[in-house]
């Protein structure tokens, strides 16, 4: 890749997360989901635009405000084994944010806070885990420690980057129920990044669908299956295996995978979309409100909804879903 080759991992993205809401961010690998999370955490810096947390711009925070930001915004990483220091005990890992941010100074208060938060993430009895190192914990226990570390400072907002993708299926339900309970009891807003549509539908109030750095649709979790409008959302749903139905042919796409270094003009999904019109290849369609809590970036959303004046290929896609 030459100096002039630049990948815009996130392009013209705009969305809001309400207080106490879980917003799912879904899409295929490499579409920009994790980059979006890192931008919100200020791990990566944006090249243009604004990010607001509690109506405050976070790009140019002074030293004192940065400390407050770090307290209010936390992240749960995908792989708990890589995100936990193997040389630190559970007590050291969970207490570190309290000490670093100087939220508590009394050692007894710090220990009690750590014990309380371990109990809240269902690691009981909490005393049993304090002196353990990450390698002495199961995958589910390590992820609960990562969640405890994020919660111990009482944040307002959490970025959860595929927090269950590294776990066995039998453990995932427990972690998802834990996140759901935290959201309900604490009112913590969560950006839940995942490639698993079933997980997103179970956990999230709303779901944002991302393709090649752009958000194509935002809709409620309850509408994901039966009221989706963007062709890319339909493609994702067609890729989900169904244990109770016989295998179906996957939806066919024309052309090759889009080059992220040289993305197409107009809608980035247009070169492969069976609904694409000439203007889709030339003009960028931004997210527009279609119904309450439903936004879509597609010229033909109304036509798709009404299923009128469609070609045979277009009817095939709609009949498939």
Question: pLDDT tens digits, residue range 3-50?
Answer: 556 677 788 888 999 999 999 999 988 888 999 999 999 888 888 888
Whether residue 289 sits in one domain with residue 153: no
Whether residue 228 sits in one domain with residue 200: no
Whether residue 188 sits in one domain with residue 260: no
Whether residue 188 sits in one domain with residue 167: yes
pTM of the entire structure?
A: 0.90
In this structure, are residues 227 and 294 in contact, taking their beta carbons and an 8 Å threshold?
yes
Whether residue 246 sits in one domain with residue 180: no
Q: Is residue 9 part of a domain?
A: no
Instruction: State the pLDDT confidence band at 99, using cuts at 50, 70 and 90.
Output: very high
Q: Which residues are paired to 289 by β-bridges?
A: 295
Whether residue 159 sits in one domain with residue 46: yes
Whether residue 316 sits in one domain with residue 179: no
Domain with residue 60: its CATH number is 3.40.50.300
Last residue of a domain, one of 204, 233, 262: 204
Instruction: State the pLDDT confidence band at 1, using cuts at 50, 70 and 90.
Output: very low
Whether residue 194 sits in one domain with residue 89: yes
Which residues are CB-neighbours of 201 under 8 A, at least 6 positions away? 24, 207, 221, 222, 224, 225
- Nearest alpha-carbon partner for 172 in 212, 216, 203: 203
- Please write the tens of the pLDDT for every residue from 201-218: 999 999 999 999 899 999
Please give the tally of structural domains in the chain.
2
Q: Is residue 13 part of a domain?
A: no
Q: 75: domain range?
A: 26-204
- Please write the tens of the pLDDT for every residue from 231-280: 899 888 877 766 555 555 556 667 677 777 778 888 889 888 888 888 98
């Amino acid at each position: 890749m030459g100096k002039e080759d630049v990948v815009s991992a996130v392009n013209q993205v705009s969305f809001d997360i309400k207080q106490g809401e879980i917003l799912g961010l879904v899409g295929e690998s490499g579409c920009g989901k994790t980059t979006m999370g890192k931008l919100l955490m200020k791990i990566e810096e944006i090249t243009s635009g604004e990010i607001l947390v509690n109506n405050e711009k976070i790009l140019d925070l002074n030293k004192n405000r940065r400390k407050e930001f770090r307290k209010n915004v936390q992240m749960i990483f995908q792989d708990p084994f890589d995100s936990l220091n193997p040389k630190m005990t559970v007590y050291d890992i969970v207490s570190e944010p309290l000490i670093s941010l100087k939220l508590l100074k009394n050692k007894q208060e710090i220990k009690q806070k750590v014990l309380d938060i371990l109990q809240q993430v269902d690691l009981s009895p909490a005393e049993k885990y304090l002196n353990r190192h990450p390698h002495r914990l199961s995958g589910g226990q390590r992820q609960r420690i990562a969640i405890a570390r994020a919660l111990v400072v009482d944040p307002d907002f959490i970025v959860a980057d595929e927090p269950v993708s590294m776990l066995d299926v039998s453990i995932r339900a427990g972690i998802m129920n834990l996140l759901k309970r935290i959201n309900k009891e604490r009112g913590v807003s969560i950006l839940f990044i995942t490639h698993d549509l079933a997980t997103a539908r179970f956990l999230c109030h709303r779901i944002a669908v991302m393709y090649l750095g752009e958000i194509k649709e935002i809709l409620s979790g309850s509408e994901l299956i039966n009221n989706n409008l963007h062709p890319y959302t339909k493609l994702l749903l067609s890729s989900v295996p169904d244990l109770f139905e016989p295998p179906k042919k996957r939806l066919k796409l024309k052309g090759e995978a889009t080059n992220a270094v040289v993305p197409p003009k107009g809608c980035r999904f247009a070169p492969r979309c069976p609904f694409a019109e000439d203007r889709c290849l030339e003009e960028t369609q931004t997210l527009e409100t279609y119904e309450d809590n439903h936004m879509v970036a597609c010229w033909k959303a109304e036509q798709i909804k009404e299923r009128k004046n469609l070609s045979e290929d277009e009817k095939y896609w709609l009949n498939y879903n």
